Amino acid sequence: MSKRSYDSSAHEKRISKYRVNDDDLFEYVLRVAILSYVIQPKVSNHHANTSEAKEKEHHSKFSGAISNSIVSIGDIFKDLRDGSKSVKFPEKLLKVLEQRLQNIAMGKDAAYSDQLTRRTMAVFYGQFMGDPFRRQMKENRSIEELILMFASQATSVLRKEPTLADDGWKVEVNNQIAQFVRMLRDCLKTLSHVSPELNSRLDMYHAKLAPPQPSNDSGYDSASVSRDSISTQPSISQSVSDMPFVMIVARLFKIPESAMQSEVDRMRKTCTEKAAVIDLKTCLKNINAGAPFPGRREDFSSDTAWNHWRTQETSILSQLMVAMMSLNPELAKSIPSDNGSIYPTSGARPNSTRIDSPGGTKRHTSIGSRHSFFGAADEGEEDGGDEGDDGDEIRVGHNFTFIPPNPKKFYRRLVEYCLVTDLEFMFSPEVDDADEVPLSILSPPHVELINECAMRWRINHTYRVTCFLDQIKQLYERSDVPMECIPEALQGITKLLQDLEIDKWPIHDSELLASIYGGLYNIFLSSLYHAVDALPNLKVSVVQPYLTILDHVRESGLIERFEADISARLADLTTRIQDVSVQYYQEKMQSLQASPGVNRALPLLLMTDELEKAAKQLDKRFPDPLVGVVDLVSLVVEAQVPLFISELQNSSKRLYESSMNGPTPDVPIQDIFSLYRRTQALLSMYKAFAPQGQLEFDLGQFFMPYVHQWLVDTDNKTGQWVQAAIAADKFEAENTEGHSASIVDLFDSLRSPISFLQDLEWSDEYQEARFLTSLSKTISKAIEQYCRSVEELFMTEMFPRPADYLQPQKSSAWLERAKLLATTGEKKVEPFNFRPESCVKLNNVEAARKLLDNLYNQIQVDKVADTIANHGPPVPDKNERARFLFAVKIVMAEDLIPLDSSPSSLLDTFVTLSDEAGNRLVKTRTIYESLNPRWEETHDISVDKPLWLMCSIRDRALVGQHDVVGRSFICLNPKEFGDFLTHDVWLNLENTNHGHQGRILLRISMEGEKDDVQFYFGRAFRFLKRSEGDMMRIFVDKMSPYIRQSLSRPILKTLIKAGSLGLDYNKALGNVTALYRSALGSNASEVQVPLPQNEKSRVRPEELTDVEIERAIIPLFDYFDANLHILNTYLSETAKDMVMMRVWKEILVVIEGLLIPPLSKLSSDMKPLSDKEVDIVFKWLKFLRDYFYAEGEGVPLEKLQNQKYRDVVSIRLYYDWHTDTLMEECVRAMQQSLREAVPVKKRVKSVYNQRNLGTIKERKKVKKEEKEVSNGETIMRILRMRPNTQEFITQQLEMMMTVQAERERTQADKQQRRSQRPRQSEIPEVPPLPSAAS
């Protein structure tokens, strides 16, 4: 055809400049279009009208249908099962088929309106919707199995149909199977990516299932068999309007129908089936001869790839020939062959036509047809051999009718032509904006045309998909198509690669694909480069399309040849991300700093929020690196965090000044610590996302000054916490433990800074331990202050001023004192009644020990101490003096002399310790009306050099200044107490007016005061323990006078004297309470002490009854009933047990004091009790023990019968021994005691032994395991009441002191040998004794 004038100028501008001549392209495309019409069966509208012809034709068709009915379906598929590989149908076919079957069953499809057809389709639809059927179809996706399933259902339905007589049902089965195959073919036309082999097989099945027709000139079967009408012999239409592909070509090239008719008429004789078969056979000969087309060994990289392609190609060519000859068996006779015949030598059934391959070694009945444009070719069986000798008419070379000279160029031009045409149509007014258009751009008719040409031109599937991708890529670069078209084109590549590895592709096609992939990678990497300008607010939806394509290309492995260029582009992308991140940070920081306000930490805090928020957002949106190597969040963090750290360092001075400028600083300390946490989070994030980054910044060193200042502020607030807690407390028990709110409030306040400090998660473990050590010092200080404050309140309650309890007339204190002095006779001790508030205060101290132990565990004190010891830096040489902690216990005073002349006068004494400047350091409680007071109070005094103390005993005055009874001086010299042992120091008291005033016992020990967390907690526990002990001692001291008065020698004498008088026993019994009434009579648990054999039985006078003996101490039982009930009600279980045991101990001491005097060198004027009196005393002891035991509901018996109880009971054993016998026993007991290896003096109980409840319990356990004291001291105390024993007692006591001193020296020598260097820094010399001050 000559140069046509039908093309528009717009179409010419859009096509590629590297193009095939459009006239030649039109020529070869039209040839393929005509061939596709020629080889397809046609239906003519001409029908025979005579009834004779119809009857004859019906008989012929019916007989043929019976011979080719359902029984031959197995034969149709048999050849496939024997050799050829099954072709899977697309998954989407099931959905399309489901809708089609539903429409037919419901009568909505006019093409299938026949009732029998609808019934069969409805039954099959029911089976089709079942889960087992759909699951089976989705697994194998076999088109043959789908057809067989329908055939089975059709046979089952039609065999029972009464309207189909004889074998008529078989005809209908064949007819419906053919309709079902045609319906499947129609459904596949609506889908993309359909394998051409699948279409070819369906065409073959339809041809074989159609009823045979009488042969005409063209050899085509064009009749359609049905029950109602039988078509007559058809004829081929000559009109182009009946040729679908020809009309597609006409519209594509914009050629009028009349011109197309002329072209078709001109080509009719050339475009024949015979020419098509010759083209196919020529391709086979070229393959075997190694000709360039359609392929040869040089086109592939390996023998495996070549053999795979050759096997597949020869199989497809053979199948195409079989398909054509199946439709027109006459072709086999008219086409030349190497052996002179196209048919195989073996016979074949007429209706199951097959043809041997040219080599004759293997047959193929699985044929291919039109491929989906994106479909991948399935592997076929190897053809089985080469052609024989060349024939006369079939020559090797490029001698084809339908295949153009350069098929790939023609195919590429055709695809480009179709794409441009369809794009023009999409942008034309005929297409509405709301209409959906395919992402493949190509319209279905053009897809069919391209596939038909590709099959006839023998274009490999590898080139088809690659060429299409290249065309879409070029259109995208020119912005003619949207980006979504690229993934659509890539799907064809992906599906083909799933069936055919890239190693089996032709070399040219794989290189072309690699080049296209390289271009795509470059294009979309550039798009990604510009997209990151939106950081840090980059959205996944923006870059995900780029990333999908880039990942697809990268994972293919085809772009390795461009590695150098890609690395450079990726480096540019990395740099761009960092530059954008830096620019965003700078702009954001400038914006925050420009905001008004004096809080310089606020912009930094807001910036940390922005950085962390952006990093987390990016990490969530892009968890994996972009294109496999570009970690977006890491690059952003690596760029921004160092900028923030630099800004923070530059603001260091301004931040510190703003946080310290007054009581309400411009930058609150809370914001500083918030900034610390946010910075710590950023650094952790930086370390996680940029582990290779180098960031020199010491977070702890930067914020350390703020922590130190916070610790100072916390320490200053401690006093306020204590005062606030006590002020708000009513000291009423809030729970079963008996403590009040103040102790809980205080420890809540102390727990808060601990939690705050731990929540900082300080990076430097050692520095955090130092912080906790400083905080533990504050805790110790708070505990000490609380103990002192509570003790003061407690003392006020226990020793109320007389004015607090006066009647409304409010007599003055001196008047009350005058009344007491004017009272004649012996003063009677009034019992003291306890108040519930006092019990609650003791409970608070006891509860504080548990709460403090909880703080100990919260801080993990032992771990903190270990961290400081093992991980701290080397200790530098210190110039400051070491500090020492002295524990000074004010034990007792002896032989105090009253200040007035009355010999019966007593003193109300307390002790003070003052330093050299006169500052009072210690003040004890007051012991009333005693010349031998016992305070038993311990106080800590911290010194850094020797310190002189003035110890003063004063007599409390109700009015005016307290009088000084006596005073003395002692120096707390660290050198003297450096052995860390406990020293008993007796100080002689002097008075400027009265001379010698007795002496006082101080028990002093020393230990080095350390800045150590265990030390501070031990000190806090010691404060609590001492306060608890002091308060319990006050309880006992308040009860002790009444106990001593009730268990005294005057009471004994009164009882003995009253024994001869008549008594009201009923009244006596009525005063005995039920709690101790069980004490009447004997008790099996009473300790029985046998008398020595050499002692004569004592002649007992007439004994008093137990009721009479008990009646003497009934007031004491009544007093216990009243006060112990209060203690039992308001004290906690632990405190109650301790108080009860102390009261019991006091009772034992009083009983012991009734029997024997204290141990001393001096003689005693105390007389031994008579046997009757001794019996009464031990009866009292028994009654009191039973009272406290309370039949098992009180104090356990094993606690009551302790070592002290046994010592008191042992007095009865020796009480009436002869003096000489007692001396001998004393010597023996003392010698045995001196032989013991246990040192007389032990190391002082250190603060470290009391640092938590665990160490305190361990200390008590060890104390319980100590050996019992010998009876030597008890015997010497008995001897003090015997005449002429003073010298013996003095001798024994001096011997004990000598041995003890010797052991102390030995122990000191051992200590000195173990440590040659001094334990502490150099201790200064002792200053001179200060002058006494009144």
pLDDT given for residue 1329 in this prediction:
58
Residues 6+ apart with CB under 8 A from 1304: 981, 1239, 1240, 1241
* Phi and psi torsions of 1214, nearest 5°: -100, -5
173, 66 Cβ separation under 8 angstroms? no
CA atoms within 13 A on the CB side of 649: 13
Sign of CA dihedral 1146, 1147, 1148, 1151: positive
pLDDT given for residue 1262 in this prediction:
54
- Three-class HEC string of 432-464: CCCCCCCCCCCCHHHHHHHHHHHHHCCCCHHHH
782, 769 Cβ separation under 8 angstroms? no
The Cα 36–Cα 781 span in angstroms is 105
The Cα 294–Cα 313 span in angstroms is 9
The Cα 654–Cα 204 span in angstroms is 90
Closest C-alpha to 89, from 151, 126, 139, 133: 139
End-to-end CA distance of the chain: 144
pTM confidence score: 0.61
Residues 6+ apart with CB under 8 A from 823: none
Q: Quick count: other Cβ atoms within 10 Å of Cβ 900? A: 9
Helix (H) or strand (E) holding 971: strand 963-972
The Cα 1274–Cα 1012 span in angstroms is 44
Q: Which residue has the tokens 């204590």?
A: 722
pLDDT given for residue 129 in this prediction:
87
Instruction: Please give the single-letter amino acid code of residue 651.
Output: S
Closest C-alpha to 1035, from 894, 922, 1136: 1136
The 3-state DSSP class for residue 938 equals: strand
pLDDT given for residue 194 in this prediction:
76
CA dihedral of residues 835, 838, 840, 846 (deg, nearest 10): -140
**DSSP 8-state assignment for residue 300:** B
Burial class for 795, CB neighbours closer than 10 Å (0-12, 13-18, 19+) = middle
pLDDT given for residue 350 in this prediction:
32
**DSSP 8-state assignment for residue 1009:** E
Helix (H) or strand (E) holding 1208: helix 1203-1214
Instruction: Please give the single-letter amino acid code of residue 200.
Output: S
Structure tokens at 309: 């392609």
Burial class for 1294, CB neighbours closer than 10 Å (0-12, 13-18, 19+) = exposed
pLDDT-flagged residues of the chain (< 70): 1-19, 41-86, 166, 193, 210-236, 334-393, 433-435, 801-829, 874-881, 901-904, 959, 979-980, 992-995, 1008, 1059-1103, 1234-1270, 1311-1334
pLDDT given for residue 204 in this prediction:
76
The DSSP-derived string for 4-59 is -S---HHHHHHS-SS---HHHHHHHHHHHHHHHHHTS----S-----HHHHHHHHH
Residues 6+ apart with CB under 8 A from 974: 884, 943, 946, 1006, 1320, 1323
> What would the pLDDT profile of 92-116 be if each residue is shown by its tens digit?
888 888 888 888 888 888 788 788 8
Where on the phi/psi map is residue 897: left (φ > 0), alpha (ψ -120 to 50), or beta? beta
Per-residue CA distances from 626 to 26, 554, 997, 1094 (Å): 46, 11, 95, 108
The DSSP-derived string for 1059-1070 is TTS---HHHHHH
pLDDT given for residue 370 in this prediction:
33
The Cα 661–Cα 667 span in angstroms is 9
The 3-state DSSP class for residue 1248 equals: helix
Helix (H) or strand (E) holding 943: strand 934-943
Sign of CA dihedral 1279, 1282, 1286, 1291: negative
CA atoms within 13 A on the CB side of 344: 16
Structure tokens at 640: 């921004």
Instruction: Please give the single-letter amino acid code of residue 1072.
Output: V
CA 208 to chain centre: 68
Burial class for 670, CB neighbours closer than 10 Å (0-12, 13-18, 19+) = exposed
Sign of CA dihedral 470, 476, 478, 480: positive
Residues 6+ apart with CB under 8 A from 1209: 1087, 1089, 1178, 1181
Per-residue CA distances from 56 to 61, 163, 173 (Å): 9, 21, 22
Q: Quick count: other Cβ atoms within 10 Å of Cβ 63? A: 14
What pairs with residue 630 in β-bridges? 626
The Cα 1107–Cα 1245 span in angstroms is 47
Residues 6+ apart with CB under 8 A from 891: 934, 935, 936, 984, 1001, 1002, 1003
